[in-house]
A = this chain, B = another copy of it.
Amino acid sequence: MCTHCHTHHHHLTGIQKNCVSLVPIFNHLENRQLNEVMNKMNSVSYKKGETIYHAGDQSDTLYIVNNGKIKIYRLAESGKEQFIRLLNQGEFTGEYALFSESIHESYAEAVTDTNVCLMKRSDLQELLIKYPTISLKILSVFSDRLEHSEKQTTLFATEKAETRIAFFLVQTLEDTPSSEVMFPMNKKDLASYLGTTPETISRKLTHLESRGYIKQKSNKRIEVLDINGLLLV
């Protein structure tokens, strides 16, 4: 209910600099333009577990993660939570509220202590008109997300739980140099991201291990032994 029960630290200088210069959608700008963008930013901190926005909240703000992690999730009519994505440093949210409806359909919650930079919709729109290349960057991020989301939908619609888990492992592995997957979330969130339950994840991981495809090192760490095997599940 309460979206304002967080620690405010407005107008911190130096912090906004990260939000702008480290972020893909802005970091291609020249120095003078970067400064202009920075001046439109505010900054807020949230403690672990605090809610940044609720479904149903009015919104006209772009949120950029300065440091920390934010999880975006939805609630189905049935009340079940569905994990959508984890935002790391430099990633943003608020998009739907910014360009279409002005109320949120999802929830954003700080997973760790988190500092975010804010920009008002009107300021952003001015910037987009003034520096059209920013739009191109955002369009690129959007189309990536769209692609990802549609792939995810197809995965849910057509594949069984074990396949979804195997795919998740392979996909997560691609982002790391090692052969070890480290879950960025607990099993409950992972389960809701994969459209299943913690129990099923446990069972399927055990099954994959017994087939020799993976080795469970600890609760959140898994070593992948046979990628090709996983992909054939």
Contact = CB atoms under 8 A, between A and B. Distances in A.
Contacts of A78: 158-159, 163
A146 interface: yes
A142 B144 CA distance: 11
Interface stretch (A7-15, A125-133, A201-209): A125-133
Interface SS, A side: helix
Interface in A123-152: 125, 128-130, 132-133, 135-136, 138-140, 142-147, 149-152
A95 B139 CA distance: 9
Copies of this chain: 2
A128 B135 CA distance: 9
Interface stretch (A99-107, A110-118, A173-181, A215-223): A99-107
Q: How large is the interface on A (under 10, 10 to 19, 20 to 34, 35 or more residues)?
A: 35 or more
Q: Identify which of A77, A133, A231 gathers the most chain B CB atoms within 10 Å of its CB.
A: A77
A168 interface: no
Nearest to A98: B143
B153 A95 contact: no
5 contacts: A82-B153, A99-B143, A129-B136, A132-B135, A146-B149
Given A74-B151, A78-B163, A146-B146, 8 more contacts: A99-B136, A99-B143, A100-B144, A139-B139, A142-B142, A145-B146, A149-B150, A156-B195
